[in-house]
Amino acid sequence: MFELRSFAARSAATLLLALSASIAAAQAAKPRVVVLATGGTIAGAGASVVNSATYQAAKVPVDKLIAGVPELAEVAQVRGEQVFQIASESFTNDKLLALGKRVAALAKDPAVDGIVITHGTDTLEETSYFLNLVVRSDKPVVVVGSMRPGTAMSADGMLNLYNAVVVAGSADARGKGVLVAMNDEIHSGRDVAKRINIKTSAFGSQWGPLGMVVEGRTYWFRLPAKRHTATSEFDIEKIDSLPDVQIVYGAGNMALELYDAVQRSGAKAVIHAGTGNGSVANYAVDKLRSLRSQGLQVIRSSRVGDGFVLRNSEQPDDKYDWVVAHDLNPQKAKILAAVALTRTADPKELQRIFWEY
């Protein structure tokens, strides 16, 4: 009888060992994803479950964000780093550079398969485009935010974070540029913009999302058309400062002093967020031409959300030595202009860069 019991005990121990080994093997086979937390609503907290729009952003630390979605461990080996803890309207160039350098360093680490960045939604589109331009890697980099704090009823942050980790751990997300996972959609970091400021369906791309992520699986429907990440000529490891670029918003009855203020601030370029197709009021043309002759780059974007600015249409850009921002909204044009100006001050070269990125 004793032999039988000891045999059974040995068999159970062997079984347990085999089981724990297979669990460890299964865990080790999962992609290794690093979550870089910067703040925003996804880390926000409100006073009550009905506060879906009144809350404090940038409160919850990264480890609590990860612990709040235990299902992450089913799809990846996840660890977190708290890079900043701010609302994203407070991002500055030094924050963009620091984040970009951390992402690039992790992307080079053979023990990292994908990177997720939790971020406020206000300037998420600028950060995702910036990383798309300067992080020289094919590894998935996925930026994610939320429109409601985790304390609210029907908070969107948990599923957005889960989806972002799924995408970051997906081999089929490689080589598609920096991605944004919001509201079950996967957008190109280049194309996406915050188009509604109070709905969970806030983010959209005028050329459409690249795909969707549903119940832990990615579904792709199109690919980016512009240069990005590994095919970019820009490299964050070689950029230690960003030239300043400012935006002037086009409307009726403009004060031309706004453009002078941009020049006096030391900016190297002004993004004219023009009406319609990047139009410039007749009383503002000479001011912009004069600033161009003093060295300020003039880049025509449009305050209209969709479409693209046609060169030499509303204004003779060739004659004035101006640049058009193509389909980039003013805030994305500002990012590209700053990155481009780290390499050239030639308007023709700037225009090439705006066509290609």
The site for ligand DAS (CB under 6 A) is made up of: 40-41, 57, 87-89, 120-122, 145
Considering beta carbons, is residue 60 or 167 the nearer one to ligand DAS? Answer: 60
Q: Which CB sits closer to ligand DAS, 31 or 39?
A: 39
Q: How far is the CB of 33 from ligand DAS (least distance, A)?
A: 21
For tokens 């970019």, name the residue. Answer: 232
Q: What is the dihedral of CA 98, 102, 103, 108, to 10 degrees?
A: 140
Q: Do the Cβ atoms of 202 and 175 come closer than 8 Å?
A: no
In the bound state with ligand DAS, the residue whose beta carbon lies nearer, of 114 and 145, is 145
How far apart CA 180 and CA 209 sit, in angstroms, is 9
Residue 38 C-beta: closest distance to ligand DAS, Å: 9
Alpha helices in 147-272 (DSSP H): 157-168, 257-264
Residue 45 C-beta: closest distance to ligand DAS, Å = 12
Centre a 10 Å sphere on the Cβ of residue 74 and count the other Cβ atoms it contains: 13
In the three-class reduction of DSSP (H, G, I as helix; E, B as strand; rest coil), residue 289 is classed as: helix
Minimum distance from CB of 41 to ligand DAS (Å)?
3
Whole-number minimum distance, CB 86 to ligand DAS, in Å?
A: 7
Residue number with CB closer to ligand DAS (98 or 261): 98
What the block records as the tokens of 20 is 């724990």
For residue 303, what are its two tokens? Answer: 């305050």
Cα(94)–Cα(102) distance, rounded to whole angstroms? 12
Neighbour tally for 167: CB within 10 Å: 25
Tell me whether residue 90 or residue 313 sits nearer to ligand DAS (CB atom): 90
Nearer to ligand DAS, 88 or 275 (CB): 88
Nearer to ligand DAS among residue 187 and residue 228 (C-beta): 187
Three-state DSSP class for residue 150: coil
Please report how close the Cβ of residue 42 comes to ligand DAS at its closest, in angstroms: 6
Output the CA angle 177-194-50, nearest 5 degrees. 125
Q: Which of the residues 38, 41, 121, 123 is marked catalytic?
A: 41
Q: How many other CB atoms sit within 10 Å of the CB of residue 207? A: 15
38: annotated active-site residue: no
* Rounded Cα gap, residues 103 and 219, in angstroms: 25
- Sign of the dihedral through C-alpha 269, 260, 255, 346: negative
Q: Which residue number has the CB closest to ligand DAS?
A: 120
> From the CB of residue 89, how many other CB atoms can be counted at a distance below 10 Å?
11
Q: How far is the CB of 166 from ligand DAS (least distance, A)?
A: 21
Which residue reads 């044009």 in tokens? Answer: 333
| C-alpha–C-alpha distance, residues 272 and 259, integer Å | 9
- Catalytic residue numbers, as ranges: 41
